[in-house]
Structure 1
Amino acid sequence: MAKTLQFLLSSFLLYASILLQQTLATKIIVTNNSTTTPGGIRFDREIGVAFTIATEQSINQFIWKLFRQNTPADRKDVPVLNVVVKRLDDDTLAETGGDNIYVNDNGIMSFGDARFDFTALMYHETTHIFQWSGRGTAPGGLTEGIADYVVMKSKYFVSEGYTKPGEGGRWDEGYGVTARFLEYCDGLREGFTVDLNNKMREVYKDEYFLEMLGKPLDQVWNEYKAKYAK
């Protein structure tokens, strides 16, 4: 009975997702290339294609709303987004390339709550698909920080063990260090991080900090560090 209900639920989610995709600009395709590995098997059993498609659609909407990209003209054009479960050569949980998200099947085995941890990971990686990077001129640490910033704004953010405000040696160190700095900048000017992302559609400039905050980047970082100095 339980297996029957699970099958019916999965079928319903897949059907609903297909209908929803017809109204969205981005089509989601999910492929498991590791069906015989422990991580690939766990993906099929505990996460699944239907759940991933529905989750990605929800994340897309979340990112567009957070970035205030209300029309297709405001957004990066991504006709098809592929999520591929496969073996990655390094120990990274996931990576992006083009309009593709590659999830390491080995990494899936490190998840606690498979669906929760997978979804949190997808918020980060999907942000890389839709964020602006100044056509590659933005520091890599900034784009990673914005991706973590999006996770922090979602209900899948776990603060325990995460970077604390004031930690780090450089503003563009990436991930939690940069996300916390961006959070601080939001406190100086509401919507700073969202506006910074949207300004980077064509090019990134350090001068954006001066333009929006009235202070040069180095000064903002030094004041941030001083605020949280122990």
Structure 2
Amino acid sequence: MRTINDFIWSVVLQQNDPSDRKPVDSVHTYIVEFDGAAGIEWGNNINVSSLYLKGVEGDVKTQFTGLMYHEMTHVFQWDGEGTAPSGLIEGIADYTILKVYDNPYGFANPGDGDSWDQGYTVTARFLEFCDGIVPAFVAKLNKKMRFTYDVKYFENLTGKSVDQLWKEYKAKYGH
């Protein structure tokens, strides 16, 4: 867990100063039987689905570790005190997986998706694109979302609206 935490703080969110981080003393992780999601984070708690783990094809350790990177990102990320779109929040968590693994299993291809805030792997790929325009884009966006969220943060950081960025993203990959 220390490796996961340090990676999220230093590489993804770039919160090297503990005063920039959420005050989290401990995180409790439970493996329980439930359906519909691989894992769920609420506050400082993470439930991992035993049914998901049982159904994993291939390397269970890699899938579990990727899930922990995703859920721990939720623990540490800012969400505008609940005002940020859920698709963006999930996209940032999957962006962490994208930074850890080269071409993660089951991820959207660059350019896929219907909207920038579709969530999960689609939004992760879009954030990867934005990070190519403005280095450390995700960390800077996360920092802005500490107390509130505004779609104009994209324009503040890149000089372009999120809609323009999405159009450029789609065009870059021929979609």
Counterpart among 40, 46, 54 of residue 101 in structure 1: 46
Aligned with 2:118: secondary structure? coil
CA shift at 1:158, angstroms? 4.3
Partner of 1:162: 107
Q: What is the one-letter code of the residue matched to 1:134?
A: G
Matched residue SS, 1:127: helix
Match of 2:153 among 200, 208, 215: 208
Cα shift at 1:160: 4.6
Structure 2 residue 143 is matched with structure 1 residue 198 = yes
Check if 1:172 corresponds to 2:117.
yes
Q: Deviations over 1:16-38 (max 9, x none)?
A: xxxxxxxxxxxxxxxxxxxxxxx
Is residue 71 of structure 1 aligned with residue 17 of structure 2?
A: yes
TM-score, normalized by length of structure 2?
Answer: 0.93
Distance 2:143 2:106 in 1: 30
The letter for the 2-side match of 1:70 is N
Does 2:29 align with 1:83?
yes
Residue in 2 that maps onto 1:124: 70
Question: What CA distance in whole angstroms lies between the structure 1 residues aligned with 2:170 and 2:16?
Answer: 35
Q: Structure 2 vs 1, CA of residues 160 and 58 (structure 1 numbering), >3 Å: closer, same or farther?
A: closer
Unpaired runs of 5+ in structure 1? 1-55
Structure 1 segments, 4+ long, off by >4 Å, are none
- Aligned residue runs from structure 1 range 31-70, under 5 A: 56-66=1-11, 67-70=13-16
Q: Deviations over 1:133-162 (max 9, x none)?
A: 01011000001000000011114x543542
More displaced stretch, 65-74 vs 175-184: 65-74
Show structure 2 runs of 5+ residues with no match: none
C-alpha displacement of 1:101: 0.5
Report the RMSD for the aligned CA atoms in angstroms: 1.3
Supply the distance in 1 between the matched residues of 2:106 and 2:15 (Cα, whole angstroms): 32
**Equivalent position amino acid for 1:125 in 2:** E
* Aligned match for 1:186, one of 122, 131, 134: 131
Q: What is the TM-score normalised by the length of structure 1?
A: 0.72
Once residues 75 and 140 of structure 1 are traced to their aligned partners in structure 2, the CA distance between those partners, rounded to angstroms, is: 20
In 1, Cα distance between equivalents of 2:111 and 2:25: 39
Cα deviation 1:95-138 (Å, max 9, x = unaligned): 11121000111111123322221111100111111111010110
Larger Rg: 1
CA distance in 1, matches of 2:103, 2:129: 18
- Measure, in 1, the Cα distance between the counterparts of 2:84 and 2:122: 16
Taking the aligned partners of 2:106 and 2:67, their CA distance within structure 1 comes to 16
Match of 1:9? none
Q: How many residues align?
A: 173
Equivalent position SS for 1:136: coil
Identity %, equivalent residues: 48
Secondary structure at 1:109's aligned position in 2? helix
AA of the residue aligned to 1:139: P
